[in-house]
Structure 1
Amino acid sequence: MRHRHLPERTMNNRLIAREPDVCDAALVETIASMLNCSQLVARAMIRRGVSSIEEARRFLNPMESDLLDPFLLPDMQVAADRVRCAIDDGEHICVFGDYDADGVCSTAMLVQRLRKMGASVEYYIPHRHTEGYGMSVDAVRTLQEHGVGLIVTVDNGVSAFDEIALCNALGIDVVVTDHHSVGKTIPECVAVVAASRKDSKYPNRYLCGAGVALKLIQALNNGAYAPEELALAAVATIADVVPLTGENRAIASCGLQHIQTLTGLSALLRAAGFNQARVDEMTVSFMIAPRLNAAGRMATALEAVHLLLGEDEAHADEIASTLNEYNQRRRDTEYEILEEAERQIQAKDQLGRAVLLAHESWNPGVIGIVASRLCEKYHLPVILFADQNGVLTGSGRSIAGVDLFENLSVFSHLFVRYGGHARAAGVTILRENYESFREAFEHHIEESYQPEDFYPSFQYDEAVSLGELSSTRVKELRRLSPYGEGNPEPVFRFNGVRFASLRTIGKDDKHFCASVVQADQVLRLIAFGKSELLEPLHSAADWDLLARPTINEYRGRESVELFWICANASEEKVAFFDAFFTQRLYNEDCSNDKLTEWYGSHGTHFQIELDDVAMRKHYRRLQSAVSEGAVPLLSLIRALQNEELLALCVFTQLSFFAYDPDTAQISQNSGCTPRTLGESSLYRMLNDRQEA
């Protein structure tokens, strides 16, 4: 088992440069000159997969012409023919959707298109809490009673084998359009339109559900589609976190321009308090998608579909207001679950390498969001369970390198059902099996992974100085948007910075702001939800910071501002002090030449006050730092000021502290012989340098 989460652990990050670390200089120069962009932007595109001028041009200027031929999708011709036949013959069609943002957008756009084509059409969205995901036997029988002759699924269907078999038996045809992973076989139905099929030749395997629905609309309409259909596909593409590259990038970028032409989405933005000049991917991620999702989480997703299909502004405002209230309830519920989860975590004597928690009052539609938050905070796999009538429904999130689905599969014999992928999964288990599963799963993770597997990893584009980020250069980075999966917002590394003017901000002091100082350059930094890091940032100097730059506009003035990603003790600092101990320069027989070489090569800017008062102060600080026993040297390097670390080197030479090379830990020597500072060769060398 491992200690409870500590601030120091959040400073133990792996900082990974995006590939290629060194970009082809000729390609960078050519892209920059031909497309009139900075080399910074050119390098960012190359690190996002661009390898030619034409690819760079499409990246910077995504167009609707980048959308692919819908008939490249498997079964698309058959699907389109069957839908047209149903319309011509007056068959009653049902669009069978899903309760998330992708599902409701898919449903609304296809229903609207079929209505325009004169179809007799209804739509069905299963209730998240009473029916669950996808088609069900009860839903199929209900649709039979409604006289449905053709079901077209959107954002679901590839795993509905039993339900589609029932449809076949009842004489109901099914056309599946879906984007989820397809197994070795597909359901036996009229058509399965999915880029994820094993036999698919479609170049873009990562369409979302609404992306596939848009392709069906194109197939039904001679390749054309309406602006509002593209807008809904854009919302779903961003909300469902599919890669924003290639065709998806074109859908998102072009569709964003039409979002405010939809009555329902405009009403939703008004209800959310949107007051910006343009809608971007952040607007979708933080305003539109949460409110569309809230309908399915807190009530029924049908209300979200009603909003998207409506054309009466007053009625749209009413529904939007309701969705806004649902979203606030979702946030309140999320906060309550998070508080209870944190209480359970704090009640544990130790925190292992996985977090599994359960409670009977938790909303199963919200626990996934909270699991994601806890996973991000503790950097551990987290599964939260809602206990309802003896059945626990769990939603889990994991970190890179710890495959949640694969690890859950070990215990599949204990589950009613489970599914998911490496980073997110769902599981249903009977209450009587929960405790044995929890203990076994925690032990399995403990035994299967090493401590370093749980160090947070963060990617950055390149190392730059604060002075390189002018307002003009930072604004130009927006040409790389829309940002999302596959096209992350640029993050930069700033080496050897220090933090000044640190203070908490916001409600409950959960956030902080600071001045980042590097040489003679200073930029303001904002860190959301990271106030627990103030103490280590106050107490130590010299950090390697990862942050993303943005433009802050205030009273007509623009300035560059940084948003916190993470920070480590600077690599130079770690290497310098680590070398003193690993090279055993603390030994009394260490020559002055070795000490001089060590200090001269790295540490000439690491200074220390050598008078007795200052050294006593450092000694007391060091005693406090190791008061509870041996402490990893790396933790001390990260937590202490440079002058305190130099003092540690001196006091280790004097045997007041001891270094264990086998464990790389520092401990205090009890009952050591009194000695003078002058007996340390390092102290004498530092003193001689200062006097010189």
Structure 2
Amino acid sequence: MLHSKTRWHSPAADPDAVRELARSLSISPLLSSLLVTRGKATPEEALVFMDGGGQEQHDPFLLKGMTEAVPRIRKALQENEHILVYGDYDADGVSSTALMIHLLRYLGASYDIYIPHRSNEGYGLHNHALDWALQQGVSLIITVDTGISAYHQIAYAKELGMDVIVTDHHEPPALLPEAYALINPKLPDCPYPFKGLAGVGVALKLAQALLGGDIPEAWTEIAAIGTVADLMPLLGENREIVRRGILSMRNSRFPGIRALLEVSGVTMNTVGAVNIAFGMAPRINASGRLDHAGRAVSLLTTEHAEEARELADELDLLNKERQLVVERIVVEATAKLEERIAAEGLPDVIVLASEGWNVGVVGIVASKLLERYYRPVIILDIHPETGMCKGSARSIPGFDIYAALSSCSSLMDHFGGHPSAAGMSLHRDGLGAFADALNDYASGVLTPEHFVAVTSADSEATIADLSLQAADELERLAPFGMSNPLPKFILRGAVVKETRTMGAEGKHLKIVLQQGKHIIEAVAFGKGALGALLPGGTKVDVLAELSVNEWNGSRKPQLMLQDLAVHETQLFDLRGAADAVRQAREISERLTPYAGTDPYRAVVVSRKERALVPDELKGMSLWTYDENGGISAHDDEQNKLEEERVSVLCLLDLPESPEQLDAVLQTFPLIDNVALLHSIRERRERLQVPTRDHFKALYKLLASVAAAATPEHEVLLRLSRQTPLSVRMLSMMLDVFEELDFIERHQGLITFVTQPAAKSLTASQHFIRLGQVAQMEEYFMDGSLSELQDFMQSRRQGVS
């Protein structure tokens, strides 16, 4: 049994609306259903969503502050003022800065740029940067993707005689800076109809306003990168920006974008929003995370192909380094959190800080811990000399992290962000009060339901529904991203036909799934270890996205696996394992991520003769078979756990009797998975289900072997030489003969009874027991997994 990592929710589309939309637009019911569930139920709405159009573009002068900003910039151009573009170091800030460079070049302006160093300076405007700007002769500053919270810094700029135009999209604070112009669609009194623009989207609207709406189409490529990278909703105007940007990017004239696509392994003529999100954006962000974002700005603004290739290669190397740094910090942060959980339990809001945690990647680390623990997470780097902490927050649905930080703003030097992500700085001495304040706030907001991760699927489908034609048709819903995700489908009751690992060290997994006569391949990235948990014939439910696999001119539908569940108790066939203890540890580790919401519990059952110690088992409970036909815990503490669900039961040794097997099943009535790790006896040493012929042949041999009193060990030795039966089998058959008075045992000697009373074999309890033990052994030694599962289920019903 494998539990899904999240609870799947699939909305039910109105069937009448689905049919009507499909009829009106001559589209498939599958596409029609997706449009309806995404709120595009009328033909007009659906066509605009699928095909775009001018309805999604708005007049830039609807943005409050634009009417003040444009004349001021034109005045600066006319009077040849020196302009400073002040940006940010993330992919949105880099894109915004690059777009403004292209604009100012186009206008023939005199300009400089400034992007703070993430680790050395941190987010936002800084007075020392303003001092530098004054020395450069700057009289006008245009901020991009930053500035809405820079009240004091903008006041300082005014003192220095510089005007500041703020273009930003972050949440405005209560106290707004007194800039020459504030352009932010989220300002409370801004009439702009679309509030979801990225920083680069606001910069693009400024360019449109300055150029009368007619901007070079290629600039939308840069706007698309920042919009996708900053996880802005791909709805409304953003959708049009990204759609146009992607179309232009497929024939990009920018050397930097061409080089970035190449180093990201993206085919230029098929690039999409997903490639931007997972290929281009991480490399752009790596520049600001581990070095300086200026390198990425240079890549997006260079006019030279050779320089572009060099810069793209540098960003690719930085991204690889970033991945290693993230992996190290995740390990350290997880260990620190697990210690805290052991001592205090899991907090509602996780706050972790340490020296040596690169501030450039703490946001990624926070995301990874959120995925694992499903709690709002804040990760901070502590400067070893000053004690100042800089960090990033990531939050779960239903918990506005910006509002949470606002509730304890007095404890921080600076903060800013969105409902789902934010950044902050404070001194290490205030970390305890900061964590307490956030958790106090969370206690009044969060409920147990918030901590259950839910994944929204678009619909339930069958493999037959998910054809190549369906995959091609779904592209009409692109570009995909925030608020318009790739469609997810739930397939129930598919059967695993085959699994195989892919990539270095088998890191990834390919699964062949079947429903009826229909077959499809599913790819699960980073889930190579899952293959060992899905033997052929396993019935699974999967949550997956539909894509197209293109190889050597061949195209076929393919699923990208997001989540998976197996609802039946599974048996893992590791019989005859060379190192059963090691294999038990490995199977337990593989199953840990699929334990569901119940506490994970692994149990090992073995003979006492193994003399295992708990340290060998790494947290698994140890139980042993006892001489009374039952099982007992290694220590008293484990006896308290009998009624809890067992995630995996590892049988290191075969039960010696059905009673021992029944004791296992009775002690652990709720078992998700069973791992069979017992040794396989040589055929000669096994029991056989007894027949009358077995006893008839043995009776004749005994007449000669034990006509006179003979030591039992000698009788067994001679019988084993004359029959194919094991000594174990022969010894248990002698028990039957003794019970029926066919032989006599006395002081280690056996004597054959020459004229016994006639008795039926079935009158012997030993005969019945021998049959039961032999049958159990036959199932455990030679039975298929399905046969063994049916046998264990019948035993379970007998003891329940």
**Paired residues of 2:496 and 2:514 also in contact (CA < 8 A):** yes
2:359 maps to amino acid: P
For 1:144, the aligned partner's letter is L
Residue 113 of structure 1: how far off its partner (Å): 1.5
Q: Which residue of 2 aligns with 1:193?
A: 183
Q: Which residue of 1 aligns with 2:541?
A: 544
Deviation at 1:493, TM superposition (A): 1.1
1:289 matches 2:278: no
User: 1:14 touches 1:456 (CA, 8 Å); kept in 2?
Assistant: yes
How far residue 637 of structure 1 moved from its aligned partner, in angstroms, is 10
Report how far residue 375 of structure 1 moved.
Answer: 1.4
State the Cα distance separating 1:214 from its structure 2 match: 0.9
Q: What is aligned with 2:397?
A: 400
CA–CA distance in 1 between the matches of 2:378 and 2:314? 30
Pairs within 5 Å for 1:424-439: 424-434=421-431
Indicate the SS of the match to 1:80: helix
CA distance in 2, matches of 1:32, 1:361: 57
SS at match of 1:236: helix
2:355 paired residue among 352, 356, 360: 360
1:210 corresponds, among 177, 192, 200, to 200
Residue in structure 1 matched with residue 6 of structure 2 by the alignment = 13
Aligned to 2:302: 310
Change (3 A) 1:374 1:132: same
The equivalent residue for 2:683 is none
Contact 1:13 1:567 in 2 (8 A): no
- What displacement does 1:654 show? 14
**Per the alignment, do residues 410 and 657 of structure 1 end up closer, same or farther by CA in structure 2, a change over 3 Å counting?**
farther
Q: Is the 8 A contact 1:271 1:320 kept in 2?
A: yes
Check if 1:369 corresponds to 2:330. Answer: no
Aligned equivalent of 2:494, options 469, 473, 497: 497
Structure 2: how far apart are the matches of 1:655 and 1:556?
A: 54
Alignment partner of 1:140 is 2:140: no
Q: Name the SS of the counterpart of 1:227 in structure 2.
A: coil
Tell me how far apart the structure 1 counterparts of residues 404 and 211 of structure 2 sit (CA, whole Å). Answer: 45
Classify 1:33/1:117 alpha carbon distance in 2 versus 1 (closer, same or farther; 3 Å). same
2:266 is aligned with what amino acid? F
Q: In structure 1, the residue corresponding to 2:241 is in which secondary structure?
A: helix
CA distance in 2, matches of 1:204, 1:228: 22
Contact 2:540/2:565 (8 A) holds in 1 = yes
Structure 1 pair 421–117 and aligned structure 2 pair: CA distance change class (3 A) = closer
On the 8 A contact 2:5/2:563 being kept in 1, the answer is: no
1:319 matched to 2:316: no
1:449–1:115 distance in 2 versus 1, CA, 3 Å = closer
Q: Does 1:42 align with 2:35?
A: no
| Aligned residue pair count | 606
Structure 1 residues 654 and 487: CA distance shift in structure 2, 3 A: closer
Distance of 2:536 and 2:352 partners within structure 1 = 34
1:558–1:540 Cα change, 3 Å: closer
Counterparts of 2:521 and 2:638 in 1: how far apart (Å)? 36
- TM-superposed CA distance for 1:298, in Å, is 1.4
The C-alpha deviation readout for 1:519-576, integer Å capped at 9, x for no partner, is: 4433222222345655765699654321112122234333322222223455xx89xx
Query: Shift of residue 247 of structure 1?
Result: 1.0
- For 1:235-272, what per-residue CA distance to the aligned partner results, in whole angstroms no more than 9, with x for missing partners? 11111111101111010011112222212211222333
Pick aligned residue for 2:260 from 245, 252, 268 = 268
- 1:120-519 residue pairs with structure 2 within 5 A? 120-259=110-249, 260-345=252-337, 350=342, 352-353=346-347, 354-388=349-383, 389=385, 390-408=387-405, 412-434=409-431, 452-519=449-516
Residues 1:527 and 2:524 aligned together: yes
Pair 97,628 (structure 1): closer, same or farther in 2 beyond 3 Å? farther
Q: CA deviation at 1:405?
A: 4.1
For 2:642 and 2:5, locate their aligned partners in 1 and report how far apart those are by CA, in whole Å. 15
Whole-Å separation in 2 of the counterparts to 1:466 and 1:316: 44
CA distance, structure 2, for counterparts of residue 447 and residue 621 of structure 1: 47
Give the partner amino acid of 2:58: L
**What is the CA distance between 1:24 and its match in structure 2?**
5.3
Matches within 5 A, 1:50-69: 50-63=40-53, 66-69=56-59
Contact between 2:643 and 2:667, CA under 8 Å: does it hold in 1? no
For 1:238, the aligned partner's letter is V
- 8 Å contact kept, 1:652–1:658: no
Query: Identity percentage over the alignment?
Result: 35
Q: Which residue of 1 aligns with 2:727?
A: none
Whole-Å Cα distance in 1 between the matches of residues 350 and 641 of structure 2? 27
| One-letter identity of the residue aligned with 1:324 | D
Equivalent-residue separation in structure 2 for 1:132 and 1:60 (angstroms): 40
Give, as a single letter, the amino acid of the residue that structure 1 aligns with 2:562.
Answer: I
Letter in 2 for 1:385: L
| Cα distance in structure 1, aligned partners of 2:33 and 2:172 | 36
C-alpha spacing 1:222/1:405, structure 2 compared with 1 (3 Å): closer
Per the alignment, residue 592 of structure 1 pairs with none
Letter matched to residue 168 of structure 2: D
Secondary structure of the equivalent of 1:336?
helix
| Residues 14-38 of structure 1, C-alpha deviations (whole Å, 9 max, x = no match) | 22124xx22252x434433443421
Residues 442, 328 of structure 1: CA spacing in aligned structure 2 closer, same or farther, 3 A cutoff? same
C-alpha displacement of 1:318: 2.2
Unaligned runs of 5+ in 1: 1-6, 575-615, 641-650, 666-675, 678-682, 688-692
Cα 1:426/1:538, change in 2 over 3 Å:
farther
Residues 314-345 of structure 1: per-residue CA shift (max 9 Å, x gap): 22222222222222222222222223334445
Ranked by relative contact order (alpha carbons within 8 Å, sequence separation 6 or more), the top structure is 1
Name the CA distance, whole Å, in 1 between partners of 2:191 and 2:521.
49
Residue-by-residue CA offset, 1:324-371 (whole Å, 9 max, x unaligned): 222222222222222333444565673624544333222100111122
Shift of 1:217: 0.8
Q: Which one is further off, 322-331 or 121-130?
A: 322-331
Letter in 2 for 1:328: K
Quickly say closer, same or farther: Cα 1:153–1:442, change in 2 above 3 A. Answer: closer
Secondary structure (helix, strand or coil) at the match of 2:310 reads helix
Q: CA deviation at 1:129?
A: 1.4
TM-score, structure 1 length as denominator?
Answer: 0.78
The amino acid of 1:11's aligned partner reads S
2:298 partner amino acid: H
With over 3 angstroms needed to count, the CA separation of the structure-2 counterparts of 1:182 and 1:416, relative to structure 1, is: closer
CA distance in 1 between counterparts of 2:153 and 2:435 reads 32
> What one-letter code is carried by the residue in structure 1 that aligns with 2:315?
L
Amino acid at match of 2:296: A
CA RMSD of aligned residues (A): 3.9
In 1: Cα distance, 2:80 partner to 2:339 partner? 63
Instruction: For 1:227 and 1:632, locate their aligned partners in 2 and report how far apart those are by CA, in whole Å.
Output: 66
| Residues 440 and 115 of structure 1, relative CA distance in 2, 3 Å threshold | closer
Q: 1:539 to 1:439 in 2, by over 3 A?
A: farther
Residues 67-112 of structure 1, C-alpha deviations (whole Å, 9 max, x = no match): 2111111121211111111111222111111111111211122222
